[in-house]
Chain A
Amino acid sequence: MSNTPALEVENLTKKIKRKLIIKGVSFTLYPGEVFGFLGPNGAGKTTTIRMIVGLISPTSGTIKIGGKNVRTEFTEAMRHLGCIVENPELYPYLTGWENLEHFAKMDPSIPKDRLDEVVTQVGLQNRIHDRVSTYSLGMRQRLGIAQALLGKPKVLILDEPTNGLDPAGIREMREFIRTLAREENLSVLVSSHLLSEIQLMCDRVAIISKGAVIRTDSVENLLAEQERVIWKAEPLSLAKEILEKETEVQEGLDQTLITLYDEPQLPIWNEKLVTAGVKVKEMRTQLPSLEDLFLEVTGGESID
């Protein structure tokens, strides 16, 4: 990971009709990393992304793409950017190829053979000369990505890229994004409200809620902190009674108990159980899903 940032967002705020919707969001993307932008519906993901791509102007704060300020050096900044905001909406009455040609013509630095490259990259060769109105959602999503990759961007911004895709499509998209980051050293910003998705695809993640970033960290760090131990023991009620004297205990599925992962204490707890005549059948650690994590950091608040 090089240390010149591909995308820098600093203290971004946005007021819409006197209501503060984005409250000072900051984060940085480095080349070759996939960055997750995670938050529930209405958290402000799309609004932040719209500001980054220059569709709406921020009330305050700065955005730099490849070192160029989006506000003052718009065209230079946009050279380094490819994006899909919300749905991949292309011209339905044009063919996929014509759509790509249309957008390629808007940037003279894009060579002619780039079109073939991106079409092959997203695997749309067979249908590229059909009208977009005949495309399935998955194909539109691919064409949207092809369109975003046309200008060989340094930063790729995808707003909910797996929205509406089937499990196979989601998996494919995930692998595609990882490959782009790895092989072309692209920085990818992916927004999602699906926690499992971010977990599988991203290196780092910013959790956003009600217009503010409440946490930015690598995915492993966040997960490690919340590691749990699952206990399988008999009789369960006795085991629970004993463990509760030591730590917080939750009941899990399938006759299990869940406690925090506290390495030095584990053998002691185990010993206590054994001496009390509890048969400990299984003891294993488990990473929580980001789902649990999210509820943890946001204090389980409801969606606004």
Chain B
Amino acid sequence: MINLVRNEMLKLLRKKRLYVIILIIAFLVPLFTYAQFKEIQEQREKMGNQDWRTVLQQEITDTQNRLSSSRIQDEWRKYLKIRLSQQQYYLENDIDPRAPGAPTFMRIFVENSIDLLLPLLVMVIVADLVSSEASGGTIKLLLTRPVKRWRILLSKYIAMLMSVSFIVLSVAVLSYVISGLVFGYGGWNMPLLTGFAVSGDELLTDRVHIVPQWQYILMEFGLVWYVSVIVGTLTFMLSVLLRSTAAVMGIMLASLIAGAILVNMVSSWESAKYFFMVNLNLTNYVSGMATPIEGMSLGFSMAVLAVWGLAGFIIAFVTFSKRDIY
């Protein structure tokens, strides 16, 4: 099996797709770094000449005032307390929460690329993994070896997992290294709030707690990897089913973009939540954004994705082992 996987990795490297992916990331990261840099500058200008410590101190006083009011709900009080300790930590440790370091940029970048950019990059790598063998005719030589078909497909699947992991890793490394040139490399321990949940119109804050940024980032990259693997598996299935790489890319692209559009307009179409493409934004659950459709949660989205991924995996292996190759 190791030999089969090595073969697949060799072909992947020789097709130079991975280099293209790295180039794309290396081009986009400076672009976003600059955008982020501009935004921070603008915020600074709005604050005038005020020192950020003064602003933060004002915010703290503000929170304290609200806490001392007696008409406030218990749950809300708890949330405010957590927020207060976060703000105080910033002040005590001399961290400007509005001037991000490289880890913060990394986090924002990955949160924004999880539902479209990363799936697209994954798709570019995976789309022709099987279909190119079919359209190039090499599948005839590949499948007339003393190796069972499912083993050949499994070696390709493992190669897919390895390249997806590689893409996620390069996003992490490149966004950290490049943005650090501008923002500095510190900030791993900055405290962040997580644990928000949404129920109806309400933001539930009873499980909110503080985690250090490195832990937060680790969590988010875990989710990003999960989403990428599912998108990779679905693309892989299409690549088995279709001979034409262009068709694979077309279908995948259409679904991903449809997902990005649907998320903004399906709040009243409840069953749309079972589509894989409206469930891609897993990091939103960590940072506590509103869900596109009621009743969605991190667990729900991960389960929906798991079902899609598993179905894709099974369809790919069953058809590939049985199919007639013309």
Q: Give the contact stretch, choosing among B10-18, B244-252, B295-303, B305-313.
A: B10-18
- Bound state CA distance, A103 and B141, in angstroms? 8
A250 at the binding interface (Cβ < 8 Å): no
B325 at the binding interface (Cβ < 8 Å): yes
B145 at the binding interface (Cβ < 8 Å): yes
The reply to whether A147 and B146 form a contact with Cβ atoms under 8 Å apart is: no
The reply to whether B146 and A75 form a contact with Cβ atoms under 8 Å apart is: yes
B6 at the binding interface (Cβ < 8 Å): yes
Shortest Cβ gap from A45 to chain B (Å): 14
The reply to whether B140 and A85 form a contact with Cβ atoms under 8 Å apart is: yes
Shortest Cβ gap from B114 to chain A (Å): 32
Known: A54-B144, A74-B148, A87-B137. A94 touches B14 (CB 8 A): yes
- Bound state CA distance, A55 and B324, in angstroms? 6
Known: A50-B326, A106-B7. A89 touches B145 (CB 8 A): no
B261 at the binding interface (Cβ < 8 Å): no
Contacts of A98 in B (CB 8 A): 10, 14
Instruction: Tally chain B residues at the interface, Cβ within 8 Å.
Output: 24
The reply to whether B10 and A89 form a contact with Cβ atoms under 8 Å apart is: no
The reply to whether A78 and B141 form a contact with Cβ atoms under 8 Å apart is: no
- Bound state CA distance, A103 and B140, in angstroms? 12
B31 at the binding interface (Cβ < 8 Å): no
The reply to whether B144 and A56 form a contact with Cβ atoms under 8 Å apart is: no
Known: A76-B146, A83-B144. A91 touches B3 (CB 8 A): no
For B143, give the chain A residue with the smallest CB separation.
Answer: A55
The reply to whether A78 and B324 form a contact with Cβ atoms under 8 Å apart is: no
Contact among A56, A92, A108, A147 for B141, CB-based, below 8 A:
A147
- Bound state CA distance, A87 and B140, in angstroms? 10
Contact among B140, B148, B322 for A89, CB-based, below 8 A:
B140
Contacts of B6 in A (CB 8 A): 105
The reply to whether A75 and B138 form a contact with Cβ atoms under 8 Å apart is: no
The reply to whether B137 and A89 form a contact with Cβ atoms under 8 Å apart is: yes
The reply to whether B144 and A90 form a contact with Cβ atoms under 8 Å apart is: no
User: In A53-72, which residues have CB < 8 Å from any B CB?
Assistant: 53-57
For B136, give the chain A residue with the smallest CB separation.
Answer: A89
Majority-rule SS of A interface residues: loop
The reply to whether B145 and A106 form a contact with Cβ atoms under 8 Å apart is: yes
Contact among B136, B138, B146 for A107, CB-based, below 8 A:
B146
Contact among B14, B147, B322, B325 for A106, CB-based, below 8 A:
B147
Shortest Cβ gap from B61 to chain A (Å): 65
User: In A252-279, which residues have CB < 8 Å from any B CB?
Assistant: none
- Bound state CA distance, A87 and B144, in angstroms? 15
For B145, give the chain A residue with the smallest CB separation.
Answer: A106
The reply to whether A56 and B137 form a contact with Cβ atoms under 8 Å apart is: no
The reply to whether B148 and A75 form a contact with Cβ atoms under 8 Å apart is: yes
Contacts of B141 in A (CB 8 A): 89-90, 103, 147
Report A41-59 CB contacts with B as 1/0, cut-off 8 Å. 0000000001001111100
The reply to whether A102 and B10 form a contact with Cβ atoms under 8 Å apart is: yes
The reply to whether A81 and B144 form a contact with Cβ atoms under 8 Å apart is: yes
Contacts of B158 in A (CB 8 A): none
Contact among A55, A94, A106, A147 for B11, CB-based, below 8 A:
A94
The listed residue with most B CB atoms (<10 A of its CB), out of A55, A93, A107, A108, is A55
Shortest Cβ gap from A22 to chain B (Å): 13
- Bound state CA distance, A48 and B122, in angstroms? 39
B4 at the binding interface (Cβ < 8 Å): yes
The reply to whether A75 and B326 form a contact with Cβ atoms under 8 Å apart is: no
- Bound state CA distance, A50 and B323, in angstroms? 12
The reply to whether A78 and B145 form a contact with Cβ atoms under 8 Å apart is: yes
Contact among B138, B143, B324, B325 for A91, CB-based, below 8 A:
B138
Known: A78-B145, A105-B3. 4 other contacts (CB 8 A): A75-B148, A106-B3, A106-B4, A151-B146
Instruction: Supply 23 A–B pairs (Cβ within 8 Å), ascending by A.
Output: A50-B326, A55-B144, A55-B326, A57-B322, A75-B146, A76-B146, A78-B145, A78-B147, A79-B146, A83-B144, A85-B140, A86-B137, A89-B137, A89-B141, A90-B138, A91-B136, A102-B10, A102-B11, A103-B141, A105-B7, A106-B145, A106-B146, A107-B147
